[in-house]
Amino acid sequence: MGRSLTQLCLTSAWLAFTPLHAQEIPTFKLEMKDGVISPARLEIPAGKAFQLEIRNSGKTAAEFECKPLKKEKVVVPGATATLSFKATAPGQYVFVDEFHENLPTGRGLIVLK
C-alpha cells in the first residue's frame, strides 16, 4: 500500500514537472517530386519559428533552396528532410528546387503573414 502510494506521488510529480509538449513548433509539409513542388505556395504565420518537412517522393534528387531565408538542403529520393526557420518578418520568399530550377513547377513561394 505504501509503495504504490509512493509510486503514484512520484508519477504525478513527474507528470506535473515535465512539459509534455515543450517544443511545439509548427511544421509544414512540402513535397518535391522530380521537379514538381507541391504546394507551390505556402502560407505560414510570420514572426514565429517554424519547420518545413520536405519530402522527396520522386526518383531524382532535389535541392531545396530559399535564398531570402538563407536555407538550402539536398533531399535524396525517398527521404524526408526537416528544416528549421527562425521567426521572420512578413513577406514573400521565393524558393526553388535547384536541381530542377529550369522547370516552371520547380519554383515555389513561402508567404509569411
Residue from 58, 64, 110, 112 that binds other proteins (CB under 8 A)? 58
Q: Does 67 bind other proteins (CB under 8 A)?
A: yes
100/35 Cα distance (integer angstroms): 5
For other proteins, the closer of residues 8 and 27 by Cβ is 27
d(CA 30, CA 9): 44
Structural contact between residues 74 and 32, judged by C-beta atoms closer than 8 angstroms: no
Contact 46, 90 (CB under 8 A): yes
**Among 57, 60, 105, 109, contact with other proteins (rule: CB under 8 A):** 60
Please pick, from the candidates 29, 41, 48, 70, the single residue that binds other proteins as defined by CB under 8 A. Answer: 70
Of 21 and 86, nearer to other proteins (C-beta) is 86
